[in-house]
Amino acid sequence: MIDKIVLAGFGGQGVLFIGKILAYAGMLDEQEVCWIPSYGPEMRGGTANCSVIISDEAINSTVLEHADSGIVLNQPAYEKFLPFIKPGGTLVVNSSVIDTTNSRDDIEIVEVPTNEITSELGNPSLANMVCLGALLNRLTTAKLSSIEKAIDEVVAKKRPQMREVNITAVKKGMAY
Amino acid sequence: MEKVFSKTKGLTDVPFTYCPGCTHGIIHRLIAEVLEEMDLLENTIGVAPVGCSGFLLDMFSCDFVGGPHGRAQAVATGIKRAMPERTVFTYQGDGDIAAIGTSHAIHVAARGEKITSIMVNNAVFGMTGGQMAPTTIGGQVTTTSPYGRDCALAGPPIDLPKTIATLEGAVYVAAGSVDSPKNVAQTKKMIKKAFQVQQKGLGFSFVSILSTCPTNWGLSPVDSLNWLRKNMMPVYQLGELKATEEVNAL
Amino acid sequence: MRRQLLKGNEAIAEAAIRSGCKLFFGYPITPSTEIIEYLSRNLPKAGGAVLQGEDEIASINMCYGAAATGARVMTASSSPGYSLKQEGMSYLAAAELPVVVVNINRNGPGLGGLGPSQGDYFQCTKGGGHGDYRTIVLAPSKGQEMYDYTMKAFDLADKYRTPVVILADGMLGQTMEPIEFKERPSVELPEKDWVTTGCIGRPKRKISMYNLTNEAGEEISLKLQAKFNKMKDLEQQWENYCTDDAEYLLVGYGTCGRVGKSAVQLARQQGIKLGLIRPITLWPFPEKAFISLPKIKGILTVELNAGQMVEDVKLAVKCSIPVQSHTRVGGMLLSENSVLKKLAEVFQLEVRV
């Protein structure tokens, strides 16, 4: 079992962060993981993206030509990574800010109205976690319990008060 | 017969390789005497330059390290950071410390690195045969300024100690000369103070010393001393250029 | 936690601390900067110190000084910075001082770009600085190897009194993978009876590297060459992957080594008997890996440069096997599919990509 996942959005939307959560989730489940940033000049402002590979076997190549699934949080990320998803794959879309007129019918596009959900949660910065929840059901290598462990490790150690709201956001996303 | 002088234990029996009339030998002796008097010979690691004095590693009886041209102060920094309890000094010509190694000269001072640097200024690159150095004075003839240093082209000479004295981490900066017994005695005091500063861990200490190069200047040893007095002394300020309150309290 | 999620650069830094590295001198440069950042946070807690030099030249020479006292010391940089260190590398080799030097290779020449590259292969394996010398070069291909090879590098440096280079492309430096913090392997190392630490209770010592006569120069050079020959004889390391029955062979290190493994898997799914040799030491180049191979019809080298290691492969097989090169330059990466496609193209094989 292997998941190759791409995550993209504006710098500051927390795409590298949910990548880290996914990688920790895989590692804490004793799987092999790679968190691959797109490093370089573009990391300063503009679109940020990273890829995560989770596998129950050793990971060899970390060079992705296509991803099994992905999350895009803004329009430029959507345009850039729409063609990047393998046929039969999944793209989770932050539909509050992304126009999906230009689309594909050979992949599943999961539209998540993050604004509605995050205003319900009272924290607009959780759009990334909501989308992570929406992706979670489509992954073969991660489940809610492993994401919870990762949140404990990455978030709750420094800011315990943020634990519940993050998990709630993920759960809300899982409804999509 | 009463013995009134004996060679310092700070020097080995390896013969000096310097030209007749060159004052490197005097400066070696002064440093070696100071290290012996302060009982530091076993505690000290010297760092040699590349240049005429690049072979002094064998002449001193303390441990010595030789590195690349101009890098002595960076090498000394590495030694001192590894062994803060040791006394570490660099011995460098003006070509070494004021040209290729200037960035290190500035930054050891800026960091207040607890080492001592001795700069020997003879206004030329000696070992390579008397080329213009940053310290060559206006009008001075060298093999790369055959018509005399043109300050409009090459700029005026650098008085490195003055520059170093502006940096906070340099707590003791002095400039001496070894052209006369009086100046030799005074320079030795400066060297001693510089090592005392290091022993107390007060900061970076720096002594610049005017020296002769009869071979490359094309003068006799005595004429060289006179040339130094007449031409170098007006350009390079002598004396203690900087001593912080803590240093003066030593 | 059994494993920690770390960037490759951080794995190197952690391994350095656990190898007993006491001093780090460096200068920030992308994509290696996490090494100095990680050590600035953590080396002081382990009783060591980090000093950010005024430049790369100062940093390598600070390493020179610290190594002269016998301390375990490291510096790290990326390509343009590694170039600046070459004077120091030559002097370290000459003065026989053990220092671990990390080069997280980015795209060049010149300022180039920040993208991953293997363009410094020649510079690292052929000497780099002036004069007749070589340095051991280790090439990790994943996070855990960044850690493991760093420990190995410190031991090799002490064993041979020599600078050892860890050469990894920027991709390996920046990628996070789970790292197991292994204990330092116990290795018997020679006593450091040459250090300049102040001559308390012993005759004075010096560390230097010049010769006043050509005769002395020859003697010193031959002594150094004998040491390099010994390394060449004893330290060649590589990984064989599916080579036992291979008819075709890939040769790749670093990121290309792991991409190569995926290419081997893809090829074998299609019935092509492909294997991989992944050099671990780039110098000494693992020539021995090519001695007892099955009947190989062709070799494809895979590199993130315009083709550098391919020359060493050709020398290793003495041109007895056709050697072709697959490369990508400029900071771009190549995929397993592109490797397979190239293999099919140059050796007239049928593949589905």
> Tell me, what CATH number does B238's domain have?
3.40.50.970
Q: Which residues sit opposite B46 in a β-bridge?
A: B64, B89
Which residue among C2, C113, C171 sits closest to A62, beta carbon to beta carbon? C171
pLDDT at position C211 is 87
Q: How many CB atoms lie within 10 A of CB C186?
A: 7
C63 contacts B79? CB cut-off 8 A:
no
Give domain status of residue B14, yes or no.
no
Q: Which of residues 30-59 of C touch A (CB under 8 A)?
A: 30-31
- Please check the confidence at residue A41 and state whether its pLDDT lies above 70: no
Give domain status of residue C352, yes or no.
no
Give domain status of residue C260, yes or no.
yes
Q: Which of residues 226-265 of C touch A (CB under 8 A)?
A: 255, 258-259, 261-263, 265
Give domain status of residue C157, yes or no.
yes
Q: Which of residues 129-158 of C touch A (CB under 8 A)?
A: 142
Residue ending a domain, among C185, C207, C234, is C234
Shared domain check, C180 and C307: no
Q: Does C335 touch chain A (CB under 8 A)?
A: yes
Torsion sign across C-alpha atoms B146, B147, B152, B156:
positive
Shared domain check, C37 and C177: yes
> Tell me, what CATH number does C317's domain have?
3.40.50.920
Q: Nearest to residue B194, comparing CAs of B176, B175, B173, B169?
A: B173
Give domain status of residue B12, yes or no.
no
Tally the domains of chain C: 2
Shared domain check, C342 and C264: yes
CATH H superfamily, domain A2-173: Pyruvate-ferredoxin oxidoreductase, PFOR, domain III (3.40.920.10)
Contact yes or no, B with A (3+ CB pairs under 8 Å): no
Give domain status of residue B128, yes or no.
yes
pLDDT one digit per residue (tens) for chain C, 353 residues: 789 999 999 999 999 999 999 999 999 999 999 999 999 999 999 999 999 999 999 999 999 999 999 999 999 999 999 999 999 999 999 999 999 999 999 999 999 999 999 999 999 999 999 999 999 999 999 999 999 999 999 999 999 999 999 999 999 999 999 999 999 999 999 999 999 999 999 999 999 988 889 999 999 999 999 999 999 999 999 999 999 999 999 999 999 999 999 999 999 999 999 999 999 999 999 999 999 887 999 999 999 999 999 999 999 999 899 999 999 999 999 999 999 999 999 999 999 87
pLDDT at position A45 is 57
Give domain status of residue C87, yes or no.
yes
Q: Provide the domain limits for residue C50.
A: 4-197+223-234
Torsion sign across C-alpha atoms B20, B26, B27, B33:
positive
Give domain status of residue C217, yes or no.
no
Shared domain check, C172 and C97: yes
Please measure the distance between the N-terminal and C-terminal CA atoms of chain C and give it in whole angstroms: 40
Q: How far is C225 from chain A (nearest CA, A)?
A: 37
Give domain status of residue B221, yes or no.
yes
Shared domain check, C229 and C128: yes
Pick the residue from chain C with its C-alpha nearest to B64.
C206
Give domain status of residue B34, yes or no.
yes
Half-sphere exposure at residue C80, Cβ-oriented, CA atoms within 13 angstroms: 15
Contacts A54 to C, Cβ<8 Å: none
Q: Provide the domain limits for residue B149.
A: 24-244
C259 contacts A60? CB cut-off 8 A:
yes
3-state SS class at B151: helix
Tally the domains of chain B: 1
Give domain status of residue C33, yes or no.
yes
Give every residue of chain B whose pLDDT is below 50, as ranges. none
Give domain status of residue C353, yes or no.
no
User: Residue A76, preceding bond cis, omega within 30 degrees?
Assistant: no
Shared domain check, C255 and C189: no
> Tell me, what CATH number does C162's domain have?
3.40.50.970
Dist CA C66 CA C44 (whole Å): 16
Give domain status of residue B216, yes or no.
yes
Dist CA C64 CA B164 (whole Å): 24
Shared domain check, C185 and C91: yes
pLDDT at position C292 is 82
Domain boundaries, chain A: 2-173
